[in-house]
Structure formats: structure tokens, C-alpha cells
Structure 1
Amino acid sequence: MSLSMTEDTSQSKTYRVWDRPTRVFHWINLLLVLSLMFVGLIMLFKSEIGITGLAAKIGLKELHTVIGYLFAINLIIRLVWGFFGNRFAKFTGNLPKIGAIKQYQTALRAGENPQYLGHNPTGKLAVLVIMLILTVIMATGLIRAGTDIYYPPFGAAVTQYIAAEGVDATSIKPYDKTGVDKAKLAVIKPYKSLAGTVHLYSAYFLMLLIVLHIAGVIIAELRHQPGIISAMFSGKKRIVGTPLDK
């Protein structure tokens, strides 16, 4: 796909880089991740803030799951778009390379400011790690939704499995062992626990990544490549000189 390019009076050039689907995903993902973290923290500390009772516990999990579905849909669309978007949206153009990262860091230490249309080499590594952790969070979250409150896509299969002989699986209720085969429930418990642990610590790791990502973007904006923040709104970057990934 060709780049749209116009010249301005300062001899810089403006390039159209981030396509609309990529930008929409970015901001929707941020909103949903923050919402999930907010509800998740309430779930973790519900007793400390005075939220008690089974109904409240289930209600919070249902809210967290509904937001999680929106998060999963948005992420899946972005993953698919990684094969069909423009070259800056495609995963093939955003794979980090150790050699390129070392060269980029060496150039920065030498006082140079290499310019890039897409992500710089360090940014590509950050994006890859973030996308991987988002995918892990999505997968483990869906597993917990299916094993905790029996929501799709795994909930029906779980209730079918744990229902005692002769019991209608649709009658199984969250956190209610009525009609449940306790032996089968014990079988899935370790897997449920593992998914929950991975989900929780992945969320903590994502929080750290978000802080590092924001700090890195601000530093890059102020010191190395002005305009990278506004580009995620407009889709355009203004660059003086020749970008290394043109």
C-alpha cells in the first residue's frame, strides 16, 4: 500500500501511517483494559470496601465478563487486521529484531534521533509483548468465565461435565453445589485455579507494561520523535529527513 505524503514549509514531510482500524482498536482497547482493571480490583478487594454477599460477588463477575467479551472481540478484530491492514498494521512489519534494537539503542546513546514511520525497533518489541499478554489475559479470562459463572464459550461444556447423573446441566448455578458431581468438580478445580492465577498475574504484568509504555512514549515524544502521540489520533506523522523504514 502506497504512502500518502505532502510537503510543508519546514521541509518536513507528512506521512499517513496508522490506518483507522488500528487507531480505533488502540483507544477502545485502552478504555476496556482500564475498565477491566477497575472492576477486577473491586472484585479483589470487595470485602475491604464493604461489598458482601453471593449476589454481589456474582454480579461483579458478570460485569467483568461482559466487559471482557467486548475486550476479546476488539482484540480478535485487531489480530485479524494484523494480516489484512496496511504495512504498519501487519504483524509481518512489526516483528522485533535484536540487531535492529541494538543499532537503535546505540544511535540514541550517540545522540542521534533515528526517525521511523511505524514503531521504532524497541517499540516493536513492546507491542509484541503487550499483544501476547493481552491474548493470554483473554484466553484465561474466558476459561474463568466458563468455570466460575458458566458463561460462554466454555460454560455449557463445564456444566455438562460436572452435572451429577440424571441432573439437567442447565440447572447448575454458580457457587451452588446442588446437582454437582463433587468428584468431577474436583477434577477441574486445579485447571480453574491455574487459569485464575495466570490471569491475575498477567493483569499485574500488563499494568507494569502500561506504565513503561506510557513513559517510553512520553520520552520518545519529548526527546526523539515529536508527533508520535498525535499520530495515534490523526494517523499521520510529520518527519524531518528520511525515515529509516520508508
Structure 2
Amino acid sequence: MSGTLPSVGAASGGPAHSPREALPAPEVMVWDPVVRIFHWTVVAGCLLNLFVVEDGEALHEIIGYVVAAVLVVRVIWGFIGTPYARFAAFVPGPRRLAQYLSALAKGREPRMLGHNPAGAVMMLALMALLAATCVSGWMMGLDAFWGADWLEETHEWLANSILVMALLHAAAALIESRRHRENLVLAMITGRKRRA
């Protein structure tokens, strides 16, 4: 009698694996550290500047520059980063977005490992709002725009728009987590999602 163990799955007719061969992992890495650091830095920065730090304080400005810096890194990473981080992998065309929204309206939207088309559009909108908020905040410090009411109002409107969009984004993530039985908030912490 041989001293080796039978292959896993051999008795049931399933695929044979040697005892030392690893079975496929139940989870896959989707969100790399750059994506996760960007996400949580923006969350923290926006919450601090909207609700904790007073406008005009030096710390408000520093937080704004940190958010601007991680936004620049994320945009670059969208072209050279890991597969799920690249814009080419998730930015939808109009037809793909319409198909997804139609399926979503019927409750038949597919589960996706990366951003779904609606989530991708939301992410791009948030990134554009972040960029505009950072630029308007920077402009407020320039002599040419010092004390310009229209610029202060624009900056405030942009910041409040980020808050509204972020709340919609969070609500959608919670709803999708429930519908697909997957904790998307935890996935943005660990980077891992259930394998397709």
C-alpha cells in the first residue's frame, strides 16, 4: 500500500488536487493599497474640513492640500495602477451604463468585482468635485481673488455637493452590500472581495 493520500476530489469525480496544491482562494484582492489609502484619506479629509476644522484655519488648508495630493496620485494610478484601479477597466460608455441602469431598475444587475458602471460614474463625479473644490480653495489664497465672495460661495457649494454625493455613494454601497450579500465597506478596508 502506498503511503500517499488520495487526491482531493478523486473519489467524487471532481478535479484532482495534490495535498500540497492550494485550492482557489475564496477571496480575491480587488482594491490595492493606493486605492484604499486614497478613499479613506478623502473620507477623513472631507469630514474634518466640513465638520471639525474651521474655514480659514491653517489646518483646513493643509487638509485640502493633502486631499489634492492623494487625488493627483489616484488619477495617475488610474492609468498605471493595478487592473481594478485603472480607468480603462471600469469607466463605462453610454451603452454599457444604460444597460446596467436598466438591469438595476429591474433588480437584475450583475455583481461585479470592481466598480459597477453606476459606481464608476459616481466615483468620477466625486473626483471632479474634489478637484474643483481643491482648485477653488487654492484660488482663495491668491491675491487676485482675495475676498471674492463668488469664489467663497463656489467653494462652499462644491464642498456641500461632495457631502451630498458621498451620502448617496455610501447609501448605494450599503444597498448593494445587502443585495449581493457582500460587505463593501469591509472590502474597502481589507481590499478583498468574494471571488466571482
Does TM, scored on the shorter chain, surpass 0.5? yes
Q: Deviations over 1:170-224 (max 9, x none)?
A: xxxxxxxxxxxxxxxxxx3599433322211101111100110111100000013
Distance 1:24 1:190, change over 3 A: closer
From 209, 214, 227, give the equivalent of 2:170: 214
Residue in structure 1 matched with residue 48 of structure 2 by the alignment:
35
Q: Distance in 1 between matches of 2:150 and 2:23?
A: 53
Residue in structure 1 matched with residue 34 of structure 2 by the alignment:
21
Tell me which moved more, 124-133 or 224-233: 224-233
Q: Distance in 1 between matches of 2:128 and 2:147?
A: 21
Q: Distance in 2 between matches of 1:6 and 1:141?
A: 51
Deviation at 1:107, TM superposition (A): 2.1
Distance 1:7 1:212, change over 3 A: same
**Is the aligned partner of 1:140 residue 2:157?**
no
Tell me which moved more, 111-120 or 190-199: 190-199
Matches within 5 A, 1:44-193: 60-144=56-140, 146-147=141-142, 158=143, 188-189=144-145, 192-193=148-149
Deviation at 1:71, TM superposition (A): 1.8
**Matched residue type, 1:21:** V
Contact 2:139–2:145 under 8 Å retained in 1 = no
Deviation at 1:89, TM superposition (A): 1.2
Contact 1:36–1:67 under 8 Å retained in 2 = yes
Deviation at 1:225, TM superposition (A): 5.3
Structure 1: segments with no counterpart, 5+ residues: 44-59, 148-157, 159-187, 241-246
Residue in structure 2 matched with residue 150 of structure 1 by the alignment:
none
Q: Distance in 2 between matches of 1:132 and 1:216?
A: 19
**Is the aligned partner of 1:203 residue 2:178?**
no
**Is the aligned partner of 1:231 residue 2:187?**
yes
**Matched residue type, 1:222:** R
Q: Deviations over 1:32-71 (max 9, x none)?
A: 111111246x44xxxxxxxxxxxxxxxx432211221222
Contact 1:115–1:239 under 8 Å retained in 2 = no
Contact 1:14–1:238 under 8 Å retained in 2 = yes
**Matched residue type, 1:85:** G
**Matched residue type, 1:227:** N
**Matched residue type, 2:41:** I
**Is the aligned partner of 1:7 residue 2:24?**
yes
Q: Distance in 1 between matches of 2:50 and 2:135?
A: 16
Distance 1:193 1:93, change over 3 A: farther
Q: Distance in 2 between matches of 1:100 and 1:191?
A: 45
Distance 1:228 1:71, change over 3 A: same
Distance 1:6 1:202, change over 3 A: farther
Q: Deviations over 1:104-124 (max 9, x none)?
A: 222234342412111111101
Distance 1:225 1:88, change over 3 A: farther
